[in-house]
Structure 1
Amino acid sequence: MHKKLFIPGPVEVSDDVLQKLATPMIGHRTKEASVLQRSISDKLRKLMYTENEILLSTSSGSGLMEGAVRSCTRKRAAVFSVGAFGDRWYQMAIANGVPADKFASEWGQPTTPEMVDEVLSTGNYDLITITHNETSTGIMNPVDAIAEVVKKYPEVVFCLDTVSSLGGAKIEVDKLGVDICIASTQKCLGLPPGLAACSFSEKALNAAKEVPNRGMYLDLLNLYNYIQKKDYQYPSTPSLPHMFALDYQLDKIFEEGLENRFARHIEMAEYVRNWANTHFEMLADPQYASNTLTTVKNTKGISVAELNKALGERGFTISNGYGELKEKTFRIAHMADTTLEEVKEVLVLIEEILGL
Structure 2
Amino acid sequence: MLNFYPGPSKVYPEVRQYLLDAYDEGILEAPHRGEQFVQLSRAVVGLIKRKLNIPQDYYIFFASSATECWEILIQSLTKYKSSHIYNGAFGEKWFQYAQKLRPHSEGIAYGINEAIPVSELPISPDTELICFTQNETSNGTQVTPTTILNLHNRFRDTLIAVDATSSMAGLNLKLIKADIWFASVQKCFGLPPGLAVMACSPRAIFRAKQMAERAHYNSLVFMYEKMLNYQTTHTPNILNIYLMKRVLEERPFIKGIEQHLTDRANDLYTFFEQFSDFQMLIENPDVRSKTVITLQANEKLVEDAKKRALHHNMRLGNGYGNWARNTFRIANFPAIQDEEYEELKRFFLHYYA
TM-score (norm. length: structure 1) = 0.90
Question: Quick one: which of 86, 99, 122 aligns to 1:119?
Answer: 122
Q: Does 1:203 align with 2:203?
A: yes
Shift of 1:148: 3.1
Q: Does 1:129 align with 2:134?
A: no
Q: Which residue of 2 aligns with 1:309?
A: 307
SS at match of 2:116: coil
Which AA in structure 1 matches 2:292?
Answer: L
8 Å CA contact retained: 1:64, 1:182:
yes
Separation in 2, partners of 1:257, 1:234: 26
Question: Quick one: which of 259, 263, 267 aligns to 1:263?
Answer: 259
1:1-356 equivalences under 5 Å are 3-22=1-20, 23-24=22-23, 25=28, 26-46=30-50, 47-51=52-56, 52-57=58-63, 59-97=64-102, 99-115=104-120, 118-120=121-123, 122-174=124-176, 176=177, 178-211=178-211, 213=213, 215-228=215-228, 231-253=229-251, 256-279=252-275, 280-284=278-282, 285-298=284-297, 302-353=300-351, 355-356=352-353
Q: Check 1:278–1:124 CA distance in 2 against 1; reply closer, same or farther (3 A cut).
A: farther
SS at match of 1:15: coil
Separation in 1, partners of 2:281, 2:87: 12
Separation in 1, partners of 2:97, 2:211: 16
Q: Check 1:292–1:341 CA distance in 2 against 1; reply closer, same or farther (3 A cut).
A: same
SS at match of 2:273: helix
8 Å CA contact retained: 1:109, 1:139:
no
Shift of 1:14: 2.4
8 Å CA contact retained: 1:303, 1:327:
no
Q: Check 1:75–1:207 CA distance in 2 against 1; reply closer, same or farther (3 A cut).
A: farther
Q: Check 1:27–1:340 CA distance in 2 against 1; reply closer, same or farther (3 A cut).
A: same
Q: Check 1:283–1:114 CA distance in 2 against 1; reply closer, same or farther (3 A cut).
A: farther
Separation in 2, partners of 1:276, 1:141: 22
Q: What per-residue deviation string (whole Å, max 9, x for no partner) do you get for residues 218-256 of structure 1?
A: 31221011222xx11112101111011000111122xx3
SS at match of 1:119: coil
Shift of 1:96: 1.8
Between stretches 159-168 and 341-350, larger displacement belongs to 341-350
8 Å CA contact retained: 1:264, 1:339:
no
Separation in 1, partners of 2:150, 2:299: 41
Shift of 1:131: 0.8
Q: What per-residue deviation string (whole Å, max 9, x for no partner) do you get for residues 247-288 of structure 1?
A: 0111122xx332221111011111111122221221122111
Which AA in structure 1 matches 2:235?
Answer: T
SS at match of 1:278: coil
Identity among equivalent pairs (%): 26
8 Å CA contact retained: 2:82, 2:128:
yes
- The count of aligned residue pairs is 342
SS at match of 1:158: strand
Q: What per-residue deviation string (whole Å, max 9, x for no partner) do you get for residues 160-181 of structure 1?
A: 111100111110212x1x1111
Which AA in structure 1 matches 2:211?
Answer: V
Which AA in structure 1 matches 2:333?
Answer: M
Which AA in structure 1 matches 2:95?
Answer: Y
8 Å CA contact retained: 1:77, 1:98:
no
Q: Could you tell me which runs of 5 or more consecutive residues in structure 1 were left unpaired when the two chains were aligned.
A: none
Shift of 1:98: 5.1
Shift of 1:303: 3.0
8 Å CA contact retained: 1:111, 1:141:
yes
Shift of 1:82: 1.7
Shift of 1:127: 0.8
TM-score (norm. length: structure 2) = 0.91
SS at match of 1:190: coil
Q: Could you tell me which runs of 5 or more consecutive residues in structure 2 were left unpaired when the two chains were aligned.
A: none
Which AA in structure 2 matches 1:344?
Answer: E
Q: Check 1:314–1:127 CA distance in 2 against 1; reply closer, same or farther (3 A cut).
A: same
Q: What per-residue deviation string (whole Å, max 9, x for no partner) do you get for residues 58-85 of structure 1?
A: x111111221122112332110112011
Between stretches 269-278 and 142-151, larger displacement belongs to 142-151
Shift of 1:341: 2.4
Separation in 2, partners of 1:282, 1:214: 46
